[in-house]
Chain A
């Protein structure tokens, strides 16, 4: 069986995977299919189990319960060196005693590939560093090491490429540049990429599909736009971008819409965007979806009156307002600075309005702080 594993191809399927350390389940009954050829991101805060999941796919950890399939081949207990899977490690883990050329050639040589020189040269051109072949890893910058680590993995044309926080050690500017390059290389080589990250912006920039993980489980999975526009849980709503979550009560139906009471003011939202299970719910609205206008001026869509500006931060492309509502909640509003209207001042009486279709509904028993306290810039787990 192990000899077949190396040539296995197809979708990656994790079936009811649990990984326990003593009483603690790092990964808890996780089922997931990653389609062949996709760029898939596992996104979550430190300790959510994403790295453990990746290590189980790589074969560096064995699941306590459950199975892992690549295509039709069961690889749950296959040794790492017998899996057609390569990893770009968090700190690159380049071999310090080997030249860049030999680092990249390592996997090819182990498999007895003939045209090593040709393949290494090709992948070095792909990452645009052919002139570094003779250097040692310590003579390279962080960004260069990152590309060599990527080259060392993709030169093997694995069925699956795993990226463990590959950009975590780079500075912000280089990180943005590498995100675009990684995405380009993935399209170029057409491999399945599984990317683990705690950086939601990174995941959204690169991945076709994101699985948001929390406490060893998948909170929600979908395209970046789906997750952002229609989060199903407070954790997702807060971890991906920012959200305003307002306590409400479902009063009734109006065709395809729900009528909701938010502290005495009526709003409506599409039924299919509500994930509430009973009358109690939270109405969620992203800060940039809000419009802000002076009390007394006409508004469209859903409207909440009685607010006043609590704080103003001008940040160039937009202005961020904190608006205090009559029921004591502070709402976050982002306004583009594109209409030539003078910004509001602290203390101004305002009305907030938004298109009903932008509203999402969460269960009324959610912890609305979930996912807000994790610092996305925190160093990764371990």
Chain B
């Protein structure tokens, strides 16, 4: 019975591990294997053989530098915008909403009741010629008669910001809500005015939420292709779009695999540097 008890944790781990092994580790290994293949000479389209062509990585990166750069720029912009919108929102829900707290939290999550795709298509309508935004901006002479908003980088970043906003808001709310209001009072008691209290106490104490929220936004945003596909144009293609078309349209599996790995590595490195910089190892 004693040995049995010691094994319980491993038994509990087993289903999750088996699942991840089958559906994550094996495919990743398969992907790694694919990434260094080259086409079979004289073979059919989509027929590849292993030749350890690590040059695939260099070619894939060099050919798609632009899309890589765009992915990280768009993802960074969307993350910053989402943080700028979500922080005041989460702050208000955590500290100022009183009895409306739960309703507001449900509203934050409410978009998830509709399909991700549908919501993104809706943004196309909102930003389109027949939406209310373009005519309003035109009549106010903020944009010219010729300017459109769809098929632009603006539309892609706006769509991503919108789609990932709840992922930013919820962790921020959770960390703000956990702050002991007495520490805020103590700061005021110790000669800090409202702004200083916010900078010196509220923001540092909400850092775990900021880190979690920005990661939950940035990582999926960097690999996203739906927003660029629906709201963008060929000039706003992100790396996700390239991978998608390499796989499903051009049937160039090795390049797609090499790009996937490069994206993964880039995100891992950036995230590691970010967490180091944010100095919150103990908080995450």
Q: Write the residues of chain A forming the contact surface with B, with a CB cutoff of 8 angstroms.
A: 58-60, 79-81, 85-87, 89-91, 93-98, 106-107, 110-111, 152, 156
Contacts and interface: CB of A to CB of B under 8 A. Distances in A.
A98 B191 CA distance: 17
Nearest to A90: B182
Given A93-B182, A106-B192, 8 more contacts: A80-B189, A81-B188, A81-B192, A86-B189, A87-B186, A89-B186, A93-B180, A93-B183
B192 to A, nearest CB: 5
A80 B183 contact: no
Contacts of A152: 190
A93 B182 CA distance: 6
Interface in B161-210: 180, 182-183, 185-193, 196, 200-201, 204-205, 207
Task: Name A's interface SS.
Answer: loop
B180 A110 contact: no
A364 to B, nearest CB: 45
A295 to B, nearest CB: 59
In this complex, the member of A58, A89, A93 whose beta carbon has the largest number of chain B beta carbons within 10 angstroms is A93
Contact of A106 (B185, B187, B193): B187
A156 B190 contact: yes
A58 B189 CA distance: 7
Interface hub of A58, A59, A96 (most chain B Cβ within 10 A): A96
A110 B191 contact: yes
A60 B200 CA distance: 19
A111 B205 CA distance: 22
A97 B205 contact: yes
A71 B193 CA distance: 24
Interface residues of B, number: 18
A86 B190 CA distance: 7
User: B-side binding surface: helix, strand, loop or mixed?
Assistant: helix
B185 A60 contact: yes
A89 B180 CA distance: 12
A96 B183 contact: yes
Interface string B137-164: 0000000000000000000000000000
Interface string B58-84: 000000000000000000000000000
A58 B186 CA distance: 10
Nearest to A112: B191
A314 B109 CA distance: 65
B183 A110 contact: no
A228 to B, nearest CB: 33
A81 B191 CA distance: 4
Contact of B193 (A79, A91, A107, A156): A79
A156 B192 CA distance: 13
Contacts of B186: 87, 89, 93-95
A255 B136 CA distance: 96
Nearest to A89: B182
Contacts of B193: 79, 81
Given A97-B204, A97-B205, A110-B191, A89 B196 contact: no
Nearest to B200: A106
Contacts of A107: 190-191
21 contacts: A59-B189, A60-B189, A79-B188, A80-B189, A81-B189, A81-B190, A81-B193, A87-B185, A87-B186, A89-B185, A93-B180, A93-B185, A93-B186, A94-B183, A95-B205, A97-B207, A106-B190, A107-B191, A152-B190, A156-B190, A156-B191
